[in-house]
Amino acid sequence: MNEVSIIKDAIEKVEELTNNAVQFREIDGHNYLFDGCTCREIHPDFTPLPKTYEFLSLDGLVKIIRKEHANITMACETPDVLYINVTSPTSVSVSTCVDGYNRRAYLYHSSYEFPRKWIGTNWFEHEEAMIILRSQFIQNEGTEYLLDFLSRVSDENSVQSDDNGMTQTVQVKKGIALAAREPVKPIVNLRPYRTFLEVEQPESAFLIRVRSRETLEVGIIEADGGMWKIEARRSIAAYLEKELKELIDSGNVVVSL
């Protein structure tokens, strides 16, 4: 083998080793590792996102946003913008914009705890209904009517009622021996506690029914198709817009339903 052939073989070997060497390349902002015929993307070690801080009121949520909004740091074009989403009458979440890896930090969350879980249709025993109307509803003409009515309704097993699907009449005691039949208002406007206490509790229509089983039971049934939920969310958004007006006007906070 002559000298030229040796040099040629050496050059080819170097080129082969170079082509098979591990190489790092950046393409469109992403890092890739080339190893011979294989290629894989190299992901950086992510800084862990902060855990969500929980609140039970709107007041606490407003105070921490005022205190910490300027310290929010995310790798995006608007690092200090916070997005507040009123997801339901009992839930508000606060998040950042997405970073370069499409991650969004959910910094804060506030939820309202019901004194009683309203499921839309609720039946109560006579005495329980009296207590709940006093303690878990804002007093208005509706509660005044129901409390007066229930105080005069017999709670004995012999209670009789007529119900044609629209109106209902029940036996009402008068004194010891006398009894009369009185119609029950089919729809009563009530304001139960069912959203954050910082905002006005929405008033809505409730269907009222009375039935006698082992004991006298009173039905308090939501009858507005859930429209109160929209009203409650709007009230929450209005409260937040008022309390965070300066940050909203400066573009640091966005409130949405």
Q: What is the pTM of this model?
A: 0.72
Is residue 69 situated within a structural domain? Answer: yes
Q: Are residues 202 and 243 in the same domain?
A: no
Is residue 101 situated within a structural domain? Answer: yes
Domain count for the chain, please give it. 3
Q: Are residues 96 and 20 in the same domain?
A: no
Q: Are residues 65 and 99 in the same domain?
A: yes
Question: Tens of pLDDT along the chain (257 residues)?
Answer: 555 465 556 545 545 555 556 666 666 666 776 666 677 766 666 677 889 999 999 999 999 999 888 777 654 555 678 999 999 999 999 998 887 777 888 999 999 987 776 666 688 888 888 889 999 999 999 999 999 888 877 655 444 444 444 444 555 554 433 345 667 788 999 999 999 999 999 999 999 888 877 778 889 999 998 899 999 999 999 999 999 999 999 888 999 98
The first and second tokens of residue 188, run together, are 């009563």
Question: Whole domain around residue 99: which residue ranges?
Answer: 53-113+232-256
Is residue 190 situated within a structural domain? Answer: yes
